[in-house]
Amino acid sequence: MLGVNLTLDDSDVYLNITINPQLVGAKLDVHTVYDLIAASKFSQFFLLEESIIDTVIAFNNALQQNKMAVITFRIGERRNSEIQCEILKDQLSVVLKVTCGYGGELPSSASLKNILTKNGVKRGISRKRIEDLVLKCARANTGEEIQSVVAIGLPPKTGKPSKLVPLVPNALERILAPQSASSARVDMRNLGAILSVKKGAELLRRMAPTKGRDGYFVSGEIIKASPGEWLKLKTGDGTVISDHDENLLIADISGMPKFKDQKMWVDDIFTCKGVNVGTGNINYDGSVFVNGDVTEKMEITATGDITINGFVESATIRAGGDIIITEGAMGKVNENATEYSTTLISKGNIYAQHGQGLKIHSNGNVSIGRQIAHSKITCKGKVTVGATIKPNGNIFSCIIHCQDSVTAGTFGAVSGSNLNIDYSEGFNNLLERKDTLVELLKQLRQNNGRHLERMSLINSKFIPKDMQYRVDEANQLFESETQLLQWLESKLTEVSNAKDKYQNNMQIIANKRIYPGVILKLNNRTWRADKELDPSLVLLQGHQWRVKSAS
C-alpha cells in the first residue's frame, strides 16, 4: 500500500509499521492494516493488537490535523515455538507440549532431543514419534498447541508362576494322539498302549517360576522385576512328594494316573480280559481297564476312568472320570428313539472309535473317531467326529443337546434323515441363573441403599458408650451385606460373560458337506439345511443363524 511499509528492526525480531501521511492521503482502519499484514511475508508474526489500534488512531489524528510527519509504531514480533517437557508421575512416559510460534523457528528433531536430554530423559525415546511431532508443528497454525508422547519407559514384567508339568499323559490324551507307525505314515488304528504306572513312578514336576523381565524409567534407571510365585505342589490320592526332590510328585500306589485342574492323582485300577456273563457286572472304586469286549446287558460302574480296549454291545457304562472305548460301541434303539440298549454316562469326557444306537451323557466333551449314527448325545462340552486335526468323520440321524461346537466331516446323510442339534437347555439354564441374580440384586440394592442412609444417620449422632456395641454390630452387619452385594455383582458379571461365550460357541463346522435334514435350534430360532452345502460353518450372529463357507 502506497505510503505504508512493514519492516523488521535491526534485531530481526520486531515488526514495525511506517506510515507517510503525505503518500497515503486517505483514512486507515484496523481491518486495512490487518489485511496488509496478512498479505505480506510477516503474516505469521504475533501481532500487538493495541499497537495497531494506536497506529490507526495516530494516523487518522495526524490526517485531521494536517500533520505530515512519518509515523512509526511497533505492531508485531517474531516468537519461537514454546516447548514444555512433562515427565509423568510414573516416570514411564514423557510428553512434549509444543505451542507453535509466530514466524519463529519451528522445532526440529535435534532441538526436541536436546530438550529431552536437558530434562534427564535417556531411554525409551521414539525417533518416529519425534519426527511426527515435528511434521505436525510444520503443518499447524500459529499459536496452536500440539502434544505427543515421545518417550516411553518399560514397566517390569512379573515372572510367571511355577508350572505343573505332567510327566505321564492321561489315558484319553494318549488315545486321541495317533501313534506313529513309521517315519512316513501314521497308523490311525494303533492308539497306543493303555497307560498305568507302578509305585514310585514320576508323575508331575513343578517347574521353577521365571525371574520376570526388568523394566526401566525414562531416566534410564532400571526397575527390578518381581519373580513369579511358587505354586503349592498338592498331593492327590495315590501320590506323594519325592523325598529327594520337593518339586517332584511320584506315585504312592500302582494304578492309572490322571491330571486334571492342576491336580494329579492315581486311581486303583481293576483289570480284566472282558466283561460278560462269566465275569459278571463290575462296580469298582477306582479305574477299570477292560482288555476285551463288553457284551450284551453287562454293566460297568467306576469312580475313576473306564477304559475298554475292545467293543461294547448293548451295555451300560458309568464312570466318575472319562470313558474310553478303543473300538466301537453298538446298541439297539426303538422306533421312537426313546429307548437305547447301550448307555454311556460320564462325569468327564467320552471317546469311542465309532457308535450306533447309543445314549450318551457327558459332563465334558464327546469324541468319536469315525462315525456315529442313530444316537442321542447330551454333553456340556464339544462334540467332535473324526481326527483331532480337521475332523472328517460322519454324523447322522442323531439327537444332540450340547453346549459347545459340533465338528465333523459330514453332517446328515443322502437319505435326508434328520440330525437335530439343540442348544436350548444350557442357554436357558444360564438365562434362568441370570434372571435370578438380577432379581436378587435388585432387592438387595434397594435394601442396601436404605441401610446406608440409616447407618449414615446413626453414625452422625452422639452414641452413648453403653449403646456403642450395638452400633458396631449394626455397622458390621451392614458391611457384610455390602460385601454380599459386591459378590453377587461379580457373579452376575460371570454369568453374563458365560452367556456371551455360550452364544459364541454355538456352531457346527462341516469340513466336507452338510446334507438336507440337519436342524439347528436355540429355543424358537431354528435353522434347517434345505439343500446340500459344501464345507460350511453355521453359527448364531445377531440372533440369527448364519451360514459361512469353511473352505
Query: Residues 274-321: pLDDT tens digits?
Result: 999 888 899 998 889 898 999 999 999 999 899 998 999 999 999 999
In the predicted model, residues of the chain with pLDDT beneath 50 are 180-193
Q: DSSP string spanning 184-237?
A: S-B-TT---PPP-B-TT-EEEEEEPPP--B-EE-TTS-EEPPPPPPPPP----T
Three-state secondary structure call for residue 313:
strand
Exposed/middle/buried for residue 450 (C-beta within 10 Å: 0-12, 13-18, 19+) = exposed
* CA-wise closest residue to 238 among 205, 308, 286, 194: 286
* Residue whose cell numbers read 490324551: 173
Exposed/middle/buried for residue 66 (C-beta within 10 Å: 0-12, 13-18, 19+) = exposed
158 has which bridge partners?
none
**pLDDT for residue 466:** 85
Strands (E), 20-105: 46-47, 71-77, 82-87, 93-99
Alpha-carbon gap, residue 210 to 417, rounded angstroms: 56
Orientation of helix 424-460 relative to helix 465-505, angle to 10°: 160
* CA-wise closest residue to 132 among 101, 106, 109: 109
Three-state secondary structure call for residue 486:
helix
**pLDDT for residue 182:** 45
* CA-wise closest residue to 376 among 414, 348, 345: 345
**pLDDT for residue 184:** 41
pLDDT tens-digit map of 38-85: 888 888 888 899 998 988 888 888 888 888 888 899 989 998 889 999
Alpha-carbon gap, residue 352 to 343, rounded angstroms: 12
347 φ, ψ to 5°? -85, -5
What is the separation, in whole angstroms, between the first and last Cα of the chain?
Answer: 75
**pLDDT for residue 178:** 56
Q: DSSP string spanning 372-426?
A: EES-EEEESS-EEES-SSS---EEES-EEE-SS-EEEEEES-TT---EEEE-HHH
**Cα distances (Å, whole numbers) of residue 337 to 363, 373, 399:** 22, 12, 9
Contact 164, 206 (CB under 8 A): yes
Alpha-carbon gap, residue 517 to 117, rounded angstroms: 73
CB atoms within 10 A of CB 205: 17
Contact 6, 34 (CB under 8 A): no
Cell of 547: 451360514
pLDDT tens-digit map of 86-97: 998 889 999 999
Alpha-carbon gap, residue 55 to 75, rounded angstroms: 8
Contact 334, 182 (CB under 8 A): no
Q: DSSP string spanning 33-55?
A: HHHHHHTSTTTTSEE-HHHHHHH
Let me know how long the chain is.
Answer: 551
Q: Structure pTM?
A: 0.67
**Cα distances (Å, whole numbers) of residue 535 to 385, 508, 515:** 15, 11, 11
**pLDDT for residue 188:** 39
453 φ, ψ to 5°? -60, -45
Cell of 545: 443363524
Contact 197, 266 (CB under 8 A): yes
